[in-house]
Amino acid sequence: MLAKRIIPCLDIRDGQTVKGINFLDIREVGDPVEMGAEYAREGADELVYLDITATHEERNLFANLVRRIAEHVNIPFTVGGGIRQLSDVDPLLNAGADKVTINSAAVKDPELVNQIARSYGSQFVVVAIDAKFEEDDWFVYVNGGRIKTGRRLFEWAREAEQRGAGEILFTSMNHDGTKNGYANEATAELSTNLGIPVIASGGAGKMNHFVDVFGQGAADAALAASIFHFREIGIQDLKNHLRIHNIPVR
C-alpha cells in the first residue's frame, strides 16, 4: 500500500490564510508563507493553497505569492483559485508551484482539463470538487460554494479523470469546518470507482477521523486546515497515531 499523505490546506483571501465553517464565517489565521514553511518543517507531505475568492471576484491568483511560497517551502505544493484558461497556468508553474488545481472553471469549461493535461501532463492537474449532499444526492457547487450546479459529484469526477485529471480533491461542504469527520462513504465511492488518487477534504477534528478516512474512505490523502492552523493536532503526532493503526505514512 502506498504511503498516505497528510496535506495542510491554506485558504487564501487578500493575501492572508483564512478559515471558515461550511464555507461561511471566515476569519484570518496567519501569513500563508510563514505557515507553509512551518508545516514543511513539521513533516507535512504536501500543501494546498486555494485563493477562495479569486474566481468569485474574477481575479487571478498572483504569481508573486506563489514565488514567495516556493522560496520558503521545500515540499510540493498545489495552487488554485482564479485559473480560468490555459494561459493562467504557466505563470503559476513557472513561479514554483508543483501542481495546479481547478474547480469552477473546469465545471464551466471541462475542456480546460484536457488542455492542461495535454500541455503539462496529468500529474500537474488536480480537479477540485466542492459538493453538498442534498435531495438524496451529491451536487457540485462552484464559485467558492456559492452557486449550485446541475452536476453530480460522481459523474463529474469520472469525467474529470477521463479528461486527464491526475487527482481529485473532494471537499464535502456538509462536513467542512465541522470537525465531525470526513464524508467517508462518498470518499470510498470515489476511491473505488476512480483510477486516480482521491484527496479527502472537509471535517477533520480528531486523529481517528484520519484513521477512518484512510480506512473506511480509502482515501489516498487527507487534507485539513483548522486543526493544523490552531495547533489542535500536531502533524508528527498524527503520523505516529496512523502508524499505530497500521496506516502507512511517510
Cite the active site residues.
11, 130
d(CA 4, CA 222): 8
Compute the Cα dihedral for 230, 93, 128, 26 and give only its sign: positive
d(CA 69, CA 62): 12
- Cell output for 108: 464551466
Q: Is 111 helix (H, G, I), strand (E, B) or coil?
A: helix
Q: Do 34 and 10 contact (CB within 8 A), yes or no?
A: no
Instruction: Find where cell 508573486 sits.
Output: 64
d(CA 22, CA 132): 10
The 3-state DSSP composition of the chain as helix, strand, coil percent (nearest 5) reads: 35, 30, 35
For residue 200, is it left (φ>0), alpha (ψ between -120 and 50) or beta? beta
Q: Is 65 helix (H, G, I), strand (E, B) or coil?
A: helix
Q: Do 235 and 228 contact (CB within 8 A), yes or no?
A: yes
